[in-house]
Amino acid sequence: MIDNVIKLNKRDTLKLDIQTEDGKDTGEYLEFDLTNIELPLIYQELIEKDRKNKEYLKNSLMIIDRREDVKGKKLLSKNEEDKLRAIRSFFNKEIEIYNMFLGERGVQKLLNGRPLTWYTLDELDKIIEEQIVPHLDLKMENIQNKIKEKYQQALDKSKEVLK
């Protein structure tokens, strides 16, 4: 019996292998479907949610700083404990926000076992801006040009009919 199979190709897929600092392959990769018209919107959402999360942390820390501090149950004071909780919550939210764009476990793949810090957030931003966004911008420009070309031909034909 002959099986009928539909084979899907992965044309216009950006695959980025992940390596350690010394160039060893981690076996992990990030993959982006550049034909996904939602991808620029997801990237835009990442930027907006990241900005809001940073603003929320800033406000939370200001509120904690304005409170009267009391001795905590252990080594840290109550305010210090609350600040650490706020920062931990911030980092967990950042992982969620970045994974929305990078894909499932994208942040964890890029961290390769390291903890998330302010410095690694800067690294993630640099990776996205330098290695992913240029491909995304180029693909969107190509799509826009194809749309313009297609509808320009249709517009030219309708002008001919009207003459």
pLDDT score at 88: 95
pTM recorded for the entire structure: 0.79
pLDDT score at 53: 97
In a domain, 100, yes or no: yes
In a domain, 77, yes or no: yes
pLDDT score at 74: 81
In a domain, 81, yes or no: yes
Q: How far apart are CA 148 and CA 146, in angstroms?
A: 5
* CB proximity list for 26: less than 8 A, separation 6 or greater: 18, 19, 20, 109, 112
DSSP secondary structure of 65-94: HHSPP---SSSS-HHHHHHHHHHHHHHHHH
| CA-based radius of gyration for the chain | 24
* CB proximity list for 123: less than 8 A, separation 6 or greater: 110
Q: How far apart are CA 48 and CA 65, in angstroms?
A: 26
pLDDT in tens, the chain (163 residues): 566 776 666 677 888 899 888 889 989 999 988 888 899 899 999 999 999 999 999 999 999 999 998 887 788 899 999 999 999 999 999 999 999 999 999 999 999 888 888 899 999 999 999 999 998 888 888 777 877 887 777 766 666 666 5
pLDDT score at 140: 80
pLDDT score at 85: 95
Number of domains in the chain: 1
Nearest 5 degrees, angle CA 121-CA 32-CA 91? 20
pLDDT score at 161: 63
Question: Which token pair is 47?
Answer: 């930027």
In a domain, 93, yes or no: yes
* CB proximity list for 38: less than 8 A, separation 6 or greater: none
In a domain, 139, yes or no: no
Q: How far apart are CA 127 and CA 17, in angstroms?
A: 12
pLDDT score at 136: 86
- Phi and psi, residue 43, nearest 5°: -65, -40
pLDDT score at 2: 63
In a domain, 79, yes or no: yes
In a domain, 59, yes or no: yes
Show the domain range for 44. 38-131
CB atoms within 10 A of CB 90: 19
